[in-house]
A and B are shown apart, each in its own frame.
Chain A
Amino acid sequence: MENRYILSSKELFVRYYPRLCHFAWQVLRNDEHVQDVVQDAFLAFWGKRDTIGDDPAAIKNYLYTTVRNACFNIKRHEKAAARYQSLNPFDEAEEPDVMSELFRSEVMGAIYEIMKEMPKSCLEIFRMGYLEGFSTNEIAESLNISVSTVKTQKKRALKLIKSKLNPEFFAIFSVFFENL
């Protein structure tokens, strides 16, 4: 009770919008309906906010479930259309478990939040090193800075992530970036 964390509507939106989009993107496997699905989920959420309460797990649960259902509806429509066109037999292997997608979105959303807070110089190097896959030497060359500066900034980024990310998430994060 003491640690309850009440977020304003905007804070809630800013925190959960990116990871819910990421989740929809994983389930739908394309960009087209992602933002609509998430916008609609939030609209439904405001209407039910009083009954859902302030518990973050309950809020997440409602939002993820609403997004998941909307994504499944879209896929069902797409499948029906495809079947009609190609006369393929309807694939009865219905809704797959989306738990791994949910985990991934939660972890990625948390990392993304930390990235947004990184100082610019640090973020640039983090982006190039860990996202674009450039080597330390390549980064130093293209940014015209010393190799040791790149190493320092990389360490700084990592330290920042380690200090801010839940320990559980950091373990997963380390698995993604084995070259850390």
Chain B
Amino acid sequence: MDKETYRIAEWMGKYLCQGLSKEEELRFEAWLDEKAEHRRLLEQFKGRSAADDLRFLAGLDTDTAWRTQRFRKRMHTVRYLSRDIRAWAVAAIAVVAIAVLAKVALQRDEARQPIAPSGRIVLQDVAPGKNQAVLVLSDGRQVELSDGLSHTLAEVGGTAIIDEGSRGMTYRASREAGDPTVTNRLLVPKAGTYQLTLSDGTRVWVNALSELEFPVVFGENERTVTLKGEAFFEVAKDAGRPFRVRVGETVINVLGTRFNVNAYAQVKTTLLQGSVAISNGLQTKVLRPGEQAVSVDGIKVSKVNVNRVIAWKEGEFLFKSDHINEIMNEVARWYDISVVYQGNQPDRLELTGSVSRGANLSEVLDVLSFASGVSFSVQGRQVTVKFPENE
């Protein structure tokens, strides 16, 4: 099954609707004459009904299969760990069903620290975040949004806003273009996330502690939204009306594409598909898929692990050599907790691992302490991170 196969599939399709070019037709005929088998293949496409096929597909449970796959994927990782870590890893899986790979480089001590089960003291567990947000309408009214709620709201310009519960909400415009100064604001608190579809069909996933402002109906010439915090965009194609995301001083110019913007500290724009141009008023850089632009002093572009960047949207924490402070900031936003550090913080303490965002806080801390040797204590909504003593 080489790449040729996919080309022949295309020819065959075109042949069936008489869409082959002269040259393709010749090559397709030649292929058909090559073997009797090839002609039989074409005949097969004409006779059978598709009902059984689609019934089989409809019977599959892809979500459950993905959960199984994710679990097995983690079990799989364990095999590649060194032997003494493996023993602990197996123990950890038995408890939390999660495996992690740890990379710990402590101050002045390059040798690997022994990984011991932590002295985590949990007085009370904390539940994970969920789909929730507050919508501020153009007249200042506020509407609370969460799973399972469903209502239709009238907005200026005859626009209906339909809250579809766990699927977020959708803006439906009566006309294609409207007054872009009539805007709504979506406020997503700590421990929240929310998704919405804008009037042009663009989909946006908004992460915790973030704010998105957007016109109820976009104007004729451009589509501009304003973001604080983090969001993932799937922009609907509309060559006549460029899509822009404003994040402080940074402007991201888009045609039709998928990208993530993380602006909790610096503005980090990560592109998955298409192309975007980032400018800060002085400088403009164009991104290719798989690249990330960081706006600090100037705009720096580098290759990144895309899965890591969009893990939040997939309901996962995924850490790849990330600094403990960054990790704890992300955890704090999702569990609505505050974090205190105790003891001597090593210069470099980087962790690698993954855990579902649907897990309780204690599970996440178990994974982190297993991976790092750091211990945690939880009191109310405050987590204390205790670094191991330097010997």
Contacts and interface: CB of A to CB of B under 8 A. Distances in A.
B5 A4 contact: no
A14 B66 contact: yes
Interface string B1-26: 11101101110111011010000000
Interface string A70-94: 0000000000000000000000000
Interface stretch (A128-136, A138-146, A147-155): A128-136
A99 B3 contact: no
Which of B13, B54, B314 has its CB near the most chain A CB atoms (within 10 A)?
B13
A174 B273 contact: no
A55 B45 CA distance: 27
B300 interface: no
Given A6-B290, A131-B54, A171-B16, A39 B60 contact: no
Given A17-B66, A43-B76, A176-B49, A112 B12 contact: no
Nearest to B17: A171
Main secondary structure of the interface of B (DSSP, over half): helix
A64 to B, nearest CB: 6
A97 B273 contact: no
Contact of B13 (A9, A19, A112, A169): A169
Interface string A46-59: 11000000100100
Nearest to B310: A8
Contact of B50 (A4, A18, A111): A111
Contact of A168 (B14, B288, B314): B14
Contacts of A25: 56
B14 A112 contact: no
B43 to A, nearest CB: 9
B38 to A, nearest CB: 9
B138 interface: no
Interface string A169-180: 111111111000
A175 B46 contact: yes
Interface in A19-37: 19, 21-22, 25, 35
Given A68-B1, A131-B51, A22 B56 contact: yes
Main secondary structure of the interface of A (DSSP, over half): helix
A39 B16 contact: no
B307 A171 contact: no
A64 B66 contact: no
Contacts of A9: 307, 314
Nearest to A132: B51
Interface string B40-70: 1100111011110111111010100110110
Given A22-B56, A131-B55, A65 B1 contact: yes
6 closest A-B pairs by beta carbon, nearest first, are: A168-B13, A171-B17, A176-B50, A171-B16, A112-B57, A108-B53
21 contacts: A6-B289, A13-B66, A14-B62, A17-B60, A21-B57, A21-B60, A22-B53, A38-B65, A39-B65, A43-B73, A46-B73, A61-B2, A65-B1, A99-B41, A112-B57, A130-B50, A130-B51, A167-B14, A168-B12, A172-B13, A172-B45
Given A5-B272, A130-B51, A176-B50, 13 more contacts: A2-B275, A3-B273, A47-B76, A97-B41, A102-B9, A108-B50, A111-B50, A112-B58, A132-B51, A167-B13, A167-B17, A171-B16, A171-B19
